A and B are shown apart, each in its own frame.
Chain A
């Protein structure tokens, strides 16, 4: 049992994003962990009554376990700031930077972290300039293999690895189904790792990198959310220098984007040991198959205590 000073925490989960199901599972996991530590927690699926409810109930802290838009794009966080209610995770401004993958990539690059070369294009750009010409230019500048993905969104939805140029148009259409802007970036070959970063009061600390080895070869939706489809190595099977470089890259990105409390930085470590930044999540998955809980466990943390500490940190940061 913790000696937490928190008396009431509201966990928000669900929402209407494509990641609703994942969010509900993350939210329940947070609720269980906090409850087990003696904290009174309510779980709410945000709807039209939410703001009035928060205004009247005034929880000590809100934990937005909402994946996808509104939860991660800064909108809900902005409202919580307006309501002057403490919440766990990054500010609205920082969340917006992280949510937009091209922006996050650019900020990471400026901070000295390598990120795959790529291009971001809107549907309008194709419409105005003609798809055939634009695709030809992309194929020349960014030869396959490339990764095509929505510029915003998570859970690998709409992501395609394109190994042949002929597959590019279909991959673009599939990604545009999720988002009006799409990134085409160089595919980096190497060890796929996720590095959790937490800050419970002593500054951001990188958790052990989790190495991801999907049976199918691709860490897509099925590999993420079906237990057994992926083997995880925690810590990742990296050399000491590589592991340090990955941890440093993760913390650098976390700080460069002005993130707080927790984040998960996705990297590929290439054969030369260089970590390449792919994207960062301000609300990493917290389900039973998620990477940050796995890293916390491997590092010897007790989940409930960490979650309670993050909630406490949110309150103290608010003061």
Chain B
């Protein structure tokens, strides 16, 4: 009998082309260690939900369940989301200058699903999506899944650079390529930590309007400012050219998986149909509990509590970086969860990760935030979850790692070093709690 061999996945040749990037990787394996208590994880973007008083949540759940046995909350719901939560969402968005109708809100399974739905609606394989340089790893994963090509646009301390946007649009179109939308996180950017200035928001909107390019404004961190509120949302001045994405994941808790999109009417209709196709309806129970929470709890004070907590942690991280890694450079966010660290030119954040794990500190290599292999010289550090003391310990360990790597490279400085081969090219999607 012929020995044909065993392939552990008999359907290997049946997968769609877009599945190609879905594979286990060394980086993902290294992230598995980050969950150990000995490891200080500066990798994950997990909100510190322990700061949410438990009784606020249990009280809301009790009230939902006492209403006719929770019959509505336990049932399928509308593909658009409940009217009550959409009204609340309008109030929340009003805090960032957005006016509009609750009819144009579509509730989704976290804003991540809204991102997926919008991409599904607009992107054909080979289309181009514009995004900041760097951009959110979870968005890059979605764009890749729909076989879009990402054109990164230069970003500086004031956010996306308008002139670079003009140049990128011209360059992409000169190649005969189709741009479908600009994806941007204007407030307390993930991973860069920077905020787009008001003047640039207006200029970017104008550029996109003139070029006929839709803007996808992703704003999960906007209300988590430290010293002063971020400028008003881009959507506040353009209700036809902007799809706005929001979320309860950072201001309440990600476990509810409730987010939303606010879209122009025509797009809104298609989003609802796509949402029903994907999930029938968003999480009813989560929507009812959140609505009850927003009705009864002092949620504005709770957001203030989160702000204070994250501000303290941001301060701890900036202070520790100044103390332990004074020769490096980093962004100083005025909100959100992340600091973007730039390493000396010869270091490679992805290749260095195993050494970091050995030293019991984890971070997300900058390469995760680029679709084109960039970011080797960068690290995203999250300050949202660890305590200030742990942050200090983690940064001290990171300094040991950086110095060890510099020592190693100094040893081999007389030899020519090529690109690291241990960890290969490409976007590596961290697990959900790392995004």
Residues of A within 8 A of B (CB): 14-22, 24, 45, 47, 123, 126-127, 130-132, 135, 155, 157-158, 160, 166-178, 211, 213, 221-222, 225-235, 237, 288-289, 294
User: Which residue of the partner chain B has the closest CB to A172?
Assistant: B412
Q: 1/0 per position for B184-219, CB-CB distance to A under 8 A?
A: 000000000000000000000000000000000000
Q: Say yes or no: A174 contacts B351, CB within 8 Å.
A: yes
Besides A47-B36, A157-B26, A221-B29, 4 more A-B contacts (Cβ < 8 Å) are: A22-B29, A126-B411, A131-B411, A226-B24
Q: Say yes or no: A17 contacts B418, CB within 8 Å.
A: no
**Chain B neighbourhood of A237, CB < 8 A:** 3
Q: Say yes or no: A16 contacts B39, CB within 8 Å.
A: yes
User: Which residue of the partner chain A has the closest CB to B352?
Assistant: A177
**Chain A neighbourhood of B351, CB < 8 A:** 173-174, 177
**Chain A neighbourhood of B327, CB < 8 A:** none
**Chain B neighbourhood of A22, CB < 8 A:** 29
A221 to B419, CA, bound (A): 18
- Known A18-B30, A171-B421; judge A157-B354 contact (CB<8 A): yes
List the 10 closest pairs (A to B, CB-CB), nearest first: A228-B9, A228-B12, A169-B415, A21-B32, A174-B422, A227-B9, A227-B8, A132-B414, A231-B5, A170-B418
Residue of B3, B36, B407, B422 with most chain A CB atoms under a 10 A cut-off: B422
B322 within 8 A of A: no
**Chain B neighbourhood of A230, CB < 8 A:** 7-8
> What are 9 of the A-B contact pairs (CB < 8 Å)?
A19-B29, A155-B29, A173-B412, A173-B417, A177-B405, A225-B29, A226-B23, A228-B7, A235-B3
Residues of B within 8 A of A (CB): 3, 5-9, 11-12, 23-26, 28-30, 32-33, 36-39, 351-352, 354-355, 357-358, 360, 405, 407-409, 411-422, 424
A3 to B37, CA, bound (A): 39
Main SS class of interface, A: mixed
Contact for B415 among A18, A21, A135, A288, CB less than 8 A:
A135
A166 to B421, CA, bound (A): 13
Q: Say yes or no: A126 contacts B29, CB within 8 Å.
A: no
A211 to B33, CA, bound (A): 31
A233 to B6, CA, bound (A): 6
A175 to B25, CA, bound (A): 17
**Chain A neighbourhood of B28, CB < 8 A:** 21
User: Which residue of the partner chain B has the closest CB to A16?
Assistant: B36
Q: Say yes or no: B32 contacts A169, CB within 8 Å.
A: no
- Known A166-B416, A237-B3; judge A20-B36 contact (CB<8 A): yes
Nearest CB of chain A from residue B108's CB, rounded to whole Å: 30
- Known A20-B32, A158-B354; judge A167-B6 contact (CB<8 A): no
**Chain A neighbourhood of B408, CB < 8 A:** 123, 173, 176-177
Main SS class of interface, B: loop
A137 to B236, CA, bound (A): 67
Q: Say yes or no: B418 contacts A167, CB within 8 Å.
A: yes
**Chain B neighbourhood of A167, CB < 8 A:** 418, 421
Contact for A177 among B355, B360, B416, B417, CB less than 8 A:
B355
**Chain B neighbourhood of A172, CB < 8 A:** 412
A127 to B5, CA, bound (A): 47
Q: Say yes or no: A16 contacts B33, CB within 8 Å.
A: yes
**Chain A neighbourhood of B23, CB < 8 A:** 222, 226, 229
User: Which residue of the partner chain B has the closest CB to A215?
Assistant: B12
User: Which residue of the partner chain B has the closest CB to A17?
Assistant: B33
A252 to B413, CA, bound (A): 43
Q: Say yes or no: A16 contacts B38, CB within 8 Å.
A: yes
A135 to B414, CA, bound (A): 10
**Chain A neighbourhood of B3, CB < 8 A:** 233, 235, 237
**Chain B neighbourhood of A177, CB < 8 A:** 351-352, 354-355, 405, 408, 422
Q: Say yes or no: B8 contacts A289, CB within 8 Å.
A: yes
Q: Say yes or no: B357 contacts A18, CB within 8 Å.
A: yes
- Known A123-B408, A127-B411; judge A232-B6 contact (CB<8 A): yes
A221 to B424, CA, bound (A): 10
Nearest CB of chain A from residue B322's CB, rounded to whole Å: 27
Residue of A19, A171, A221 with most chain B CB atoms under a 10 A cut-off: A221
Q: Say yes or no: A170 contacts B417, CB within 8 Å.
A: yes
A130 to B30, CA, bound (A): 32
A172 to B414, CA, bound (A): 13
Q: Say yes or no: A221 contacts B421, CB within 8 Å.
A: no
**Chain A neighbourhood of B29, CB < 8 A:** 18-22, 155, 221, 225
Contact for B354 among A18, A123, A222, CB less than 8 A:
A18
- Known A157-B26, A170-B420; judge A131-B415 contact (CB<8 A): yes
**Chain A neighbourhood of B25, CB < 8 A:** 221-222
**Chain B neighbourhood of A288, CB < 8 A:** 8
Nearest CB of chain B from residue A146's CB, rounded to whole Å: 13
